[in-house]
């Protein structure tokens, strides 16, 4: 399985996968490509979102009760992850990619396309959002 090189500090990294390439690389139909495992200590919610360009600029969020999984259906964005040392790691992501957001890591993204469509799986509880310009933001209603 070819996975893009993670951007990492210690055990925290941006993991993203090109799902089309991963599926094409499967040589045995009885053996799926396993990317990893995750555990949530709370109920999770999943769904799809359509986000116009600039709607999330300056917004950050963090999920304290589990990882978040994002699958890009259409569009592209730069994913930003704050590492434990305070540095910001960035990764460009596009349609067909999947991103695994580590539990408890602040993250944001900058949309490049006119619209971004994503499938998400995220903890239902323990979510915090805020703006770079000050003030809380609740994106998980």
- CATH number corresponding to 13-131: 2.60.120.10
Say how far apart CA 71 and CA 100 lie, in whole Å.
9
The DSSP secondary-structure symbol of 132 reads T
d(CA 15, CA 122): 16
Low-confidence ranges of the chain (pLDDT < 50): 1-10
Compute the distance between CA of residue 57 and CA of residue 80 in angstroms, rounded to an integer.
11
* pLDDT for position 29: 72
Q: What is the pLDDT of residue 72?
A: 95
What b/e readout covers 122-140, taking b as 16+ CB neighbours within 10 angstroms?
bbeebbebbeeeeeeeeeb
The token pair at 82 is 């704050």
């Amino acid at each position: 399985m070819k996975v893009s090189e993670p951007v990492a500090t210690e055990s925290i990294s941006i993991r993203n996968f090109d799902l089309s390439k991963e599926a094409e690389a499967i040589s045995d139909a009885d053996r799926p490509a396993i990317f990893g495992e995750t555990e949530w200590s709370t109920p999770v919610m999943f769904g799809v979102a359509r986000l116009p360009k600039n709607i999330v600029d300056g917004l950050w969020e963090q999920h304290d009760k589990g990882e978040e999984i994002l699958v890009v259906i259409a569009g592209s964005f730069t994913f930003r992850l704050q590492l434990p040392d305070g540095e910001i790691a960035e990764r460009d992501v596009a349609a067909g990619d999947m991103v695994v957001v580590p539990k408890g890591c602040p993250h944001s993204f900058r949309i490049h396309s006119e619209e971004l469509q994503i499938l998400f799986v995220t903890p239902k509880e323990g979510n915090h959002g805020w703006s770079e310009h000050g003030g809380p933001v609740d994106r998980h209603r």
